[in-house]
Amino acid sequence: MATESSVTFAAILPHQARFSVKNLLIIACCALLPGGPPRAQPTAPAPPYHLLHTIAIGGEGGWDYLSVDPAGERLYVSHGTQVEVVDLHTRQLLGTIPNTPGVHGIEVVPGAGRGYITCGRNNTCVVFDVKTLKPIGAPIPTGPKPDALFYDAFSGRVFIFSNDGGRSTVLDAKTGAVLGTAELGGDAEAPASDGKGHIFVNLEDKSEVVEFDAKTLAVLKRTSVKPGEEPTGLGYDPRANRLFSGCANEKLVVTDSKTGKQVAVLPTAKGTDGAVFDPSTGNVVVSNGSGTFTVIHQDSPTKYTVLGSVPTARGARTIALDPKTHHLFTATADYGPTPAPTAENPHPRPGIVPGTFRVLEFGR
């Protein structure tokens, strides 16, 4: 009935007006259809971070951790057998710290004028002068395969974590004197501290987080991160007592550091390695060697939302956060062809193209 009256009404109008009436009828009919007229598709949210700068470094060799010294406004980058030192004002290379074979972690002690570097190939820790970048004394023997290290302001100690043998070599941060060894019972990866005398560290081979006392070095608690496997990167929110373990099977596991209760398990991406928490944004950012950051927002201490994936570059598996600017840093290089498998090396890695090593800086 509505169609007939509409056609009659259109017939008495001038020819010029019929097109408009026809359009009105189409709109009206669409409005009567189930669900109404077609709706516009929602616009995809903008990525929470984007690339700000590419800092060319060059040279040869692999890489591992990056470390920000906010007081000195420097970035320390592990690179083969040396550490690259970048001025965060100019984004220029200030210099290098050589003779650090198999370098992994770098840590600067605020106010002490010295820093510490783990050398995985010869099981030592190199101490250097922050101003001159020269070594201070002889390298310090450590446990096997020293990897991550951490300065704890509460105890005034530097903790060096072995990725083989399950121990932490403990140093006086001001003098470098060896104070003892914490026996952790697993291959240690990235650490965190609550600032009150408790140190947490991922145990890669046990899929656990272990907690120990910063002064007595006694183990206090072990917490499983399963279904996460092989945890490496560890972010921490001391206000909410939340540990964020980045796991090799593409998961981020959130644990209550007080109770050991598992709070959430969230998806990441292939090659998950590093993890940081930024209290200014409430974001957990996980670096994936496949070439992305996974950004997860802490809506509350019990609720987490995956905000999205930010493109980085293949091989950019580690991450550092500048607590002053809230910028994120990662490092990578271009890859060449993968060599043919041999009996000695049945699973070869692709070669690294010389001169392509670089740091990527991201911001909001």
Q: Which domains does the chain have, with CATH numbers?
A: 50-363 (2.130.10.10)
Which pLDDT score, from 0 to 100, does residue 40 have? 45
Say which amino acid occupies 279.
Answer: P
- Quick one: which of 325, 225, 328 has its CA closest to 286? 328
Q: Which residues face 159 on adjacent strands? A: 150, 170
- Does 12 have pLDDT greater than 50? no
Which pLDDT score, from 0 to 100, does residue 47 have? 65
- pTM of the predicted protein model: 0.86
Highest mean pLDDT among 18-27, 87-96, 339-348: 87-96
Least confident of 4-18, 102-116, 248-262, 303-317: 4-18
- Does 176 have pLDDT greater than 90? yes
The DSSP element (H or E) to which 152 belongs, if any, is strand 146-152
Per-residue model confidence as pLDDT tens digits over 115-150? 999 999 999 999 999 999 999 999 999 999 999 999
* Measured distance CA(40)–CA(202) in Å, rounded: 46
Which pLDDT score, from 0 to 100, does residue 48 have? 85
Angle at 271 between CA 207 and CA 336, to 5 degrees: 140
b/e sequence 308-331, b meaning 16+ C-beta within 10 Å? bbbebbbbbbbbbbbeeeebbbbb
- Does 4 have pLDDT greater than 80? no
Which pLDDT score, from 0 to 100, does residue 1 have? 40
Which pLDDT score, from 0 to 100, does residue 343 have? 87
Work out the mean pLDDT of the chain and round it to a whole number: 89
Task: Please answer whether residues 233 and 287 qualify as being in contact, where contact means their C-beta atoms are separated by less than 8 angstroms.
Answer: yes
Report, as an integer, the average pLDDT of 47-64. Answer: 94
Which pLDDT score, from 0 to 100, does residue 45 have? 55
Higher pLDDT residue, 164 or 37? 164
Percent of the residues in the chain that have a pLDDT greater than 70, as a whole number: 87
- Does 10 have pLDDT greater than 80? no
- Does 296 have pLDDT greater than 70? yes
* Helix axes of 15-32 and 2-11: crossing angle, nearest 10 degrees: 160
Which pLDDT score, from 0 to 100, does residue 6 have? 35
Which pLDDT score, from 0 to 100, does residue 31 have? 45
- Does 238 have pLDDT greater than 50? yes
Which pLDDT score, from 0 to 100, does residue 30 have? 44
* Measured distance CA(153)–CA(194) in Å, rounded: 10
- Does 9 have pLDDT greater than 50? no
